[in-house]
Amino acid sequence: MFVKRLILIALKKVRSNSARILPKFFPYILGSLLFSGNIHADSWSWSGVYLVQPETLEYSGPVQIQVKDGLVEKISSSPSSKEPLFILPGFCDSHVTLGANSLGGWKDRSELESDLKQFLLHGFTHIQSIADPPWALELSEIRKKNFQYPRISVLPPVLLAESKELTTSKVSGYKILKSPEEAMSSLSGKKGKIHLFLRHNEGETFEIDGKLLYRMRSESEKNGLELSVSTFGEEFANWEALSSETKVLYHPIPETSSIRPVAHNLVKQTWAPLFGIYFTRKGIGTSSFAEEWEKWIQWSPIFKERALSKEALSTMSGLSESDREEAEKEYESYLAFLRARKNLSLRILLGSGAGHQLQFPGISGWKELRILSELLGPKEALRAATETTCQYLGAAHEGKIRVGKPAHLLIFREDPLQNWDKLNTLRTVVTERVKTEISSPEKKKTKGQRR
């Protein structure tokens, strides 16, 4: 499968560049990050707004919402406004890799600052980072201590079976397993969450098969540890993850005859399809993807400030013709799987895969939201980005707006549920005691002219 090769290439690039990141990051980790435009205050209020309600995801309004000391203090009826605002809960992203720069290498300090800002200014107040070196945990703790957003959840080093491609080099962010005994012992003495990359390579002396995965899942549950698995769209890996009833799955599932008998297990599992990675990878190097890229730039003025130029994009090599045909078929199979199982909507997490090739922070989350909306409808896509994913990540607001609970608010000039292009009308992000105002390009231009 073409995506399997993609992931292996990414691992090699991470391995060869990993030594560059730590000296640059530790000065940053010890410092603090404040975005320009943040306003600290005791209270704010908005009148004549329309507010998305928990569970139903219907708007109530017009209402007045008051925020005080980081909490939603009051929601009450209000006269209508000539220019009403629309308020959604803060978004959450279950799958990013902070250390990867979306171009095949590691970030430096300035890139990380920019990426965290990109997440926030696209409305993502909580993210979970996977396959990062130890500095990610330190960064997460620092941000929690300093009440900084987006909040970062991190996982321990990803479990990965030894293979020839890894040689003897140490892969930062991964724990390499060489035997079933090591696989089982890696689950001892841990709490919280742990993640496994499940892949199959012919000729390897050791790999994690279905029986071992079932044992690992059972041992994890006995120890109070949640095991999640990345399957990379592989049919066999998906079959094993579904059969073993591993609690959380990442990457898409193909619609095949072998998968159908075990697909019903997903009603007991949680799943982030990560469609955007596959959409992007199959299109690189094509004129249709270049057109799609231009749409993203127009969609998000924030992304436009750092997007690759047409010229830079055209130099990136894509798949061969035969691989692209295979990739298109695989991608359509992935979409068909979820399209045929819309009853899974309450089990779907939003995961953008930011850090994978051309999956940039914020805008990739918007793209994933749009793909989910096309398959499940706008309300269920919103549920994935808010209630389901935020509760999974343990976000304080749980992806909801409720009186007495932490205020994580996204304030739009136009209703994004009517058209996801309206996400670009996001004007304010509230993260408890901090209000971040987003300037439009028009405002910036006017401000520059006045000077």
pLDDT in tens, 283-325: 999 999 999 999 999 999 999 988 999 889 989 988 999 999 9
> How many Å is the Cα radius of gyration of the chain?
22
Q: What is the pLDDT of residue 171?
A: 60
- Give the pLDDT score at 394: 96
- pLDDT of amino acid 202: 75
Query: How far apart, in whole angstroms, are the C-alpha atoms of residue 437 and residue 261?
Result: 50
Q: In terms of Cα–Cα distance, which of 210, 212, 215 is closest to 238?
A: 210
For the chain, helix, strand, coil in percent to 5 are 45, 20, 35
- Position 203 pLDDT exceeds 50: yes
Determine contact, residues 118/361, Cβ cutoff 8 Å: yes
Distance CA 24, CA 433 (A): 30
Residue 14 reports pLDDT greater than 80:
no
pTM: 0.91
Residues 118 and 303: beta-carbon distance below 8 Å: yes
Pairing of strands 408-412, 86-89: antiparallel
- Range from 135-139, 208-212, 383-387 carrying the lowest mean pLDDT: 135-139
Strand (E) or helix (H) holding 290:
helix 287-299
The string of pLDDT tens digits covering residues 91-141 is: 999 999 998 889 888 887 778 889 999 999 999 999 999 988 888 889 999
Sign of CA dihedral 417, 421, 427, 430: positive
d(CA 107, CA 98): 8
Name all domains of the chain by residue range, CATH numbers in brackets.
2-10+90-399 (3.20.20.140)
More confident residue, 419 or 163: 419
Dihedral in degrees, nearest 10, Cα atoms 294, 300, 306, 311: 0
Band (pLDDT 50/70/90 cuts) for residue 40 is: low
Tokens of 426: 């996001």
> Would you say the C-alpha torsion 205, 211, 215, 221 has a positive or negative sign?
positive
Rounded Cα distance, 306 and 293, in Å: 12
Residue 282: exposed, middle, or buried by beta-carbon count in 10 A (0-12, 13-18, 19+)?
buried
pLDDT at 338: 97
pLDDT in tens, 239-278: 999 999 999 999 999 999 999 999 999 999 999 999 999 9
What's at 316, amino acid-wise? M
How confident is the model at residue 317, as a pLDDT? 86
pLDDT of residue 33: 40
